[in-house]
Amino acid sequence: MKILGISAYYHDSAACLVIDGEIIAAAQEERFTRIKHDPGFPCQAITYCLAEAGIAPQDVDHVVFYDKPFLKFERLLETYLAFAPRGFSSFVTSLPVWIKDKLFQKTVIAHALKDLWGKGVDWESRLLFSEHHLSHAASAFFPSPFESAAVLTMDGVGEWTTTSLAVGQGNTLSVHKEIHFPHSLGLLYSALTSYTGFKVNSGEYKVMGLAPYGAPTYAKLIKDHLIDIKDDGSFALDMSYFNYCTGLTMTNAKFDALFGGPPRQQESTLTQREMDLAASIQAVTEEVVLKLAKGIARSTGQKNLCLAGGVALNCVANGKLLRENVFERLWIQPAAGDAGGAVGAALGAYHIMLGKPRDVPKGLDGMKGAYLGPAFSSHAITESLTRCGAVFTTLSDDEVIEHTAQALADGKAIGWMSGRMEFGPRALGARSILADPRSPAMQKLLNLKVKYRESFRPFAPSVLRENVGAWFEMDVDSPYMLLVADVARDKRRAMTADEQALFGIDKLNVPRSTIPAVTHVDYSARVQTVHRETNPRYHRLIQRFNELTGCPVVVNTSFNVRGEPIVCSPEDAFRCFMGTELDVLVVGTAFLRKAEQHASLTANYKENYALD
301-337 pLDDT tens trace: 999 999 999 999 999 999 999 999 999 999 999 999 9
Looking at the predicted structure, is the pLDDT value of residue 26 above 50?
yes
Q: Is a pLDDT exceeding 70 seen at residue 69? A: no
Alpha helices in 118-184 (DSSP H): 123-126, 132-141
Amino acid 418: pLDDT? 98
Average pLDDT score over residue span 410-439 = 97
Q: Is the distance from CB of 147 to CB of 169 less than 8 angstroms?
A: yes
**Span 2-131+345-368 CATH architecture:** 2-Layer Sandwich (3.30)
Band (368; pLDDT cuts 50, 70, 90):
very high
Residue 82 pLDDT = 56
User: What pLDDT does 228 receive?
Assistant: 98
Separation of alpha carbons 224 and 237, rounded Å: 10
Is pLDDT at 299 greater than 70 in this prediction? yes
Q: Is residue 255 predicted with pLDDT exceeding 80?
A: yes
pLDDT bin (cut points 50, 70, 90) of residue 139 is very high
Q: Report the Cα 226 to chain-centroid distance in Å.
A: 27
pLDDT over 70 at 505, yes or no: no
Q: What is the mean pLDDT of residues 15-25?
A: 98
211-224 pLDDT, tens digit each: 999 999 999 999 99
Compute the distance between CA of residue 21 and CA of residue 1 in angstroms, rounded to an integer: 8
Average pLDDT over residues 47-69: 94
By the 8 A CB rule, do 278 and 196 touch?
yes
30: Cβ–Cβ under 8 A, 6 or more apart, which residues?
Answer: 12, 13, 36, 37, 38, 565
| Domains of the chain, residue spans | 2-131+345-368, 179-331, 378-611
According to the model, what pLDDT value does residue 532 have? 97
Percent of the chain topping pLDDT 90:
77
How confident is the model at residue 611, as a pLDDT? 47
Q: Select from 567, 481, 575, 496 the least CA-distant residue to 529.
A: 481
How would you class 329 by CB atoms within 10 Å of its CB: exposed for 0-12, middle for 13-18, buried for 19 or more? middle
Query: Is residue 345 predicted with pLDDT exceeding 70?
Result: yes
Do residues 159 and 132 make contact, with C-beta atoms less than 8 angstroms apart?
Answer: yes
CA distance 409 to 549: 7
User: For 161-185, what is each residue's pLDDT tens digit?
Assistant: 899 999 999 999 999 999 998 999 9
- At 83 the pLDDT is 55
Question: What residue spans of 301-416 are helical by DSSP H?
Answer: 315-323, 341-348, 378-388, 397-409
Residue 394: phi and psi, rounded to 5, are -95, 125
Q: Do domains 179-331 and 378-611 have the same CATH topology?
A: no
Query: Over 60: is that where the pLDDT of 72 sits?
Result: no
pLDDT tops 60 at residue 79: no
Contacts of 447-453 with CB under 8 Å at 24 or more apart are 449/580, 449/581, 450/413, 450/561, 450/580, 450/581, 450/582, 451/557, 451/560, 451/561, 451/562, 451/580, 452/561, 452/562, 452/580, 453/561, 453/562
For 179-331, CATH gives: 3.30.420.40
pLDDT at 75 over 60: no
Q: Angle 599-611/570-579 helices, nearest 10 degrees?
A: 90
Q: Which CATH class is domain 378-611?
A: alpha beta
Give the per-residue pLDDT at 610: 52
Is a pLDDT exceeding 80 seen at residue 604? no
- Asked if residue 575 lies in contact with residue 466, where contact means CB atoms within 8 angstroms, the answer is no
Q: How far apart are CA 120 and CA 143, in angstroms?
A: 33
pTM for the model: 0.92
Average pLDDT over residues 235-261: 91
State the average pLDDT over residues 30-57.
Answer: 97
Number of neighbouring beta carbons within 10 Å of residue 52: 18
Mean pLDDT (whole number) for 103-110: 77
Helix (H, G, I), strand (E, B) or coil at 92: helix
Q: At what angle do helices 43-53 and 105-117 cross, to 10 degrees?
A: 60
C-alpha 171/C-alpha 164 separation (Å) is 18
